[in-house]
Amino acid sequence: MPAIFGSCLCGAVRWKVPYAPQWLVSCNCSACRRYGALWAHYRVDEVVLEGETRGYMRGDRSLAFCACPICGSVTHYRSVPGTDPSERLSVNMRMAPPEVWRDIRIRHFDGADSWEFLD
């Protein structure tokens, strides 16, 4: 599959990833439930980001959720440098056209309690 592109509602923030992930993550933590995101995880160097975002860190401040300051769409999150050895960046695949991700397996993650996959 070729590169995948996504953008916020107004188009001011865009991302590009080089390939489709094996699965997407639907997390039930209080933030992800509200964002309605489907996360695809990548190494930081695999993601191209364009546009300015506004970050929000919560809890232990190890993740920064990033949103467009114009339309408010949550486009991605990244681990805060020094808090995660993998330094991942996760894009919200709901920012890509549905036909790109609709056939990718969705794994359910219990971020609210056990921090384990439920499937």
pLDDT of residue 84: 62
Give this prediction's pTM: 0.91
- What is the predicted pLDDT for the residue at 59? 72
8 Å CB contact between 28 and 111: yes
pLDDT of res. 60: 74
- Residue 86: the pLDDT is 64
- Which has the closest alpha carbon to 21: 48, 45, 42? 42
Calpha distance 42→33 (Å, rounded): 21
The one-letter amino acid code at 41 reads: H
Stretches in the chain below the pLDDT threshold 50: none
| Domains of the chain and any CATH numbers | 4-109 (2.170.150.70)
